[in-house]
C-alpha cells in the first residue's frame, strides 16, 4: 500500500484523536493508530476499548488497505518535520512501514491491522442534532462538577437527558451540582444516558467553535458523536443516576444578587486565610451588605471583607467550601449572579442574572457546618 499526504494535514488530524491513546496500555496494539485507505480517503482510528475516535482526510493513493502504526513514534516524527508531502509505503506481509520525506527516509515496524479492536457501529440508535458550540458550552459548564469517585460510577460522567421538551445536562460530585437545560434541542421520546468524563474531555477539545450540527446517536451501550471529519464513540456508564431533583431546594425565600467578579476575587483572597482542610468561608448577609470571613485557628490566620450586594430575605449566616464556590463562579459567564438561600443547612443555588438564549443554568453548592 502506498499513499502521499501533507505533513501538517496528517499531524493535525492525528493530534485530534491522539488523546484517546493511553501511554501504558495492556495491549500493545492500543498504542497504535489504525490507518485505512479507501478510494483516496484515509481514515485513522484510535481506541482504548472504552472510547474510540476516527478522523478522515483526502490523500493521494491508488490502492486500498489497512495498517496499524505506532502512534508515539509517528507523532514525534511529524512534529519535527516542516510542511511537505510525505510518501508512506507499507508491506502487507511483514507490516513494515517506510516514510519518505524530501530529505530523509524513516523505517518502522507496524502491526497486523486484523489485531486492532473492532470499532462499535451505530445499531438501533436514536439520533438528535445539536450545534457544536452549544454542545461544547454545555460540556464546559458541567464537566468540572463530575465526581472522581469510582465507587459511585454514575457520578463519574455527565447525565444527558433528552425529551420532547428539551435537553438537560447534569453533573454532580455530591458537594456541588450543575444542571443546564437547552430548549432548542428535542427528541421524540424521553430517555437518558451517562457519558464518561474522558470522552467528554476529548469531545470538547475537538469540537469546532461554530454552529455546525453535531449528530448525536445513542443506544443502550454506546453514544456516537459525528461532526465534520471526526467521529467519537464511547461506551456509556451502565448505572442509575441519582435523583438530582430531590436535592435542589425549591423554596428559597432569601435571594442575594452580587457582581460575579467582585465576589470571586474576594473569595479568593479570603480563602487564603481559611483552614486548609475544610476551606470554610462564612457569608454573613444583613441588609445590603455581605461580610465574607475565614479563619485558620491552627496558624492564627484570619481575614474578612465587606461587599455591597442586593439582598431580599432575613439576615443569614452560612458557610461554604471556598474552592467549590470559586470554581463555580469561574465557570459562570454572567456579570452578576443570584444566589438563592434558605437556611444555613440547606444548599445554595447559583444562577446567572443574564441568561443565554434557549438556556437555563443552575448550580448548587452544599453548605458546611460553621465551626463553633
**pLDDT number for residue 26:** 82
Digit-coded pLDDT (tens) for 200-230: 999 999 999 899 999 999 999 999 999 999 9
Tell me how far apart the terminal alpha carbons of the chain are, to the nearest angstrom: 74
Mean of all residue pLDDT scores within the chain: 95
Contact of 362 with 179, CB cutoff 8 Å: yes
Question: Burial of 312 by CB count in 10 Å (0-12 exposed, 13-18 middle, 19+ buried)?
Answer: exposed
**Same fold for the pair 2-115 and 248-368:** yes
> What is d(CA 326, CA 273) in angstroms, rounded to the nearest whole number?
15
**pLDDT number for residue 372:** 53
User: Strand ranges (DSSP E) for 228-300?
Assistant: 230-235, 254-259, 280-286, 289-296
> What is d(CA 231, CA 54) in angstroms, rounded to the nearest whole number?
5
Digit-coded pLDDT (tens) for 10-22: 999 999 999 999 9
Q: According to DSSP H, which parts of the chain are helical?
A: 7-17, 71-80, 132-142, 197-206, 260-271, 322-331
**pLDDT number for residue 167:** 97
**pLDDT number for residue 25:** 78
Over 80: is that where the pLDDT of 371 sits?
no
**Cα-only R_g, the chain:** 25
> What is d(CA 347, CA 343) in angstroms, rounded to the nearest whole number?
8
Q: Which CATH class is domain 126-245?
A: alpha beta
- Between CA 20 and CA 25, with CA 21 as vertex, the angle to 5 degrees is 135
Instruction: State mean pLDDT over 150-174.
Output: 96
> What is d(CA 231, CA 235) in angstroms, rounded to the nearest whole number?
14
Q: What are phi and psi of 79, to 5 degrees?
A: -65, -25
Contact of 352 with 332, CB cutoff 8 Å: yes
**Cα torsion through 231, 237, 238, 242, rounded to 10:** -130
Digit-coded pLDDT (tens) for 51-90: 999 999 999 999 899 999 999 999 999 999 999 999 999 9
Cell of residue 320, nine digits: 461554604
Contact of 212 with 134, CB cutoff 8 Å: no
State the residue for C-alpha cell 459511585. 152
- Between CA 345 and CA 355, with CA 350 as vertex, the angle to 5 degrees is 160
**pLDDT number for residue 349:** 97
Domains of the chain, residue spans: 2-115, 126-245, 248-368
Give the DSSP letter of residue 217: E
Give the residue among 93, 94, 96 at the shortest CA–CA distance from 108. 96
Over 60: is that where the pLDDT of 318 sits?
yes
Q: How far is CA 276 from CA 148, 173, 176, 216, in A?
A: 20, 20, 19, 42
Give the DSSP letter of residue 212: P
- CATH architecture for residues 248-368: Roll (3.10)
Q: How far is CA 21 from CA 94, 121, 139, 330, in A?
A: 24, 20, 21, 30
Q: Of 3.30.70.1520, 3.40.50.300, 3.10.150.10, 3.40.50.2300, which CATH number belongs to 2-115?
A: 3.10.150.10
Percent of the chain whose pLDDT exceeds 70: 99
Amino acid at each position: 500500500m502506498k499513499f502521499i499526504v501533507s505533513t501538517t494535514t496528517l499531524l493535525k488530524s492525528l493530534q485530534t484523536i491522539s488523546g484517546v491513546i493511553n501511554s501504558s496500555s495492556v495491549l500493545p496494539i492500543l498504542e497504535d493508530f489504525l490507518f485505512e485507505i479507501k478510494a483516496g480517503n484515509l481514515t485513522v482510528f484510535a481506541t482504548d476499548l472504552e472510547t474510540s475516535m476516527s478522523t478522515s482526510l483526502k490523500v493521494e493513493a491508488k490502492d486500498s488497505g489497512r495498517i496499524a502504526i505506532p502512534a508515539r513514534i509517528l507523532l514525534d516524527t511529524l512534529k519535527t518535520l516542516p510542511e511537505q508531502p510525505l510518501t508512506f509505503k507499507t508491506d502487507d506481509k511483514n507490516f513494515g512501514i517506510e516514510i519518505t520525506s524530501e530529505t530523509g527516509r524513516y523505517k518502522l515496524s507496524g502491526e497486523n491491522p486484523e489485531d486492532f479492536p473492532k470499532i462499535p457501529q451505530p445499531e438501533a440508535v436514536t439520533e438528535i442534532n445539536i450545534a457544536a458550540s452549544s454542545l461544547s458550552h454545555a460540556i464546559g459548564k458541567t464537566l468540572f462538577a463530575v465526581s472522581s469517585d469510582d465507587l459511585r460510577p454514575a457520578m463519574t460522567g455527565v447525565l444527558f437527558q433528552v425529551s420532547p421538551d428539551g435537553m438537560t445536562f447534569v453533573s454532580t460530585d455530591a458537594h456541588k451540582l450543575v444542571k443546564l437545560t437547552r430548549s432548542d434541542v428535542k427528541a421524540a421520546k424521553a430517555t437518558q444516558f451517562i457519558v464518561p468524563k474522558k470522552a467528554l474531555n476529548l469531545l470538547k477539545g475537538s469540537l469546532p467553535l461554530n454552529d455546525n450540527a453535531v449528530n448525536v446517536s445513542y443506544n443502550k451501550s454506546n453514544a456516537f458523536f459525528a461532526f465534520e471529519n471526526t467521529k467519537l464513540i464511547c461506551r456509556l456508564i451502565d448505572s442509575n443516576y441519582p435523583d438530582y431533583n430531590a436535592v435542589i431546594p425549591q423554596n428559597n425565600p432569601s435571594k442575594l444578587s452580587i457582581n460575579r467578579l467582585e465576589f470571586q476575587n474576594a473569595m479568593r483572597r479570603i480563602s487564603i486565610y481559611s483552614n486548609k482542610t475544610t476551606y470554610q468561608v462564612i457569608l454573613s448577609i444583613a441588609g445590603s451588605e455581605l461580610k465574607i470571613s475565614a479563619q485558620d485557628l491552627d496558624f492564627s490566620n484570619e481575614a474578612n471583607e465587606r461587599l455591597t450586594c442586593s439582598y431580599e430575605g432575613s439576615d443569614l449566616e452560612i458557610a461554604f467550601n471556598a474552592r467549590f464556590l470559586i470554581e463555580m463562579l469561574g465557570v459562570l459567564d454572567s456579570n452578576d449572579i443570584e444566589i438563592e438561600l434558605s437556611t444555613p443547612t440547606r444548599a445554595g443555588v447559583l444562577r446567572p442574572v443574564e441568561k443565554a438564549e434557549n438556556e437555563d443554568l443552575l448550580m448548587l453548592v452544599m453548605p458546611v457546618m460553621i465551626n463553633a
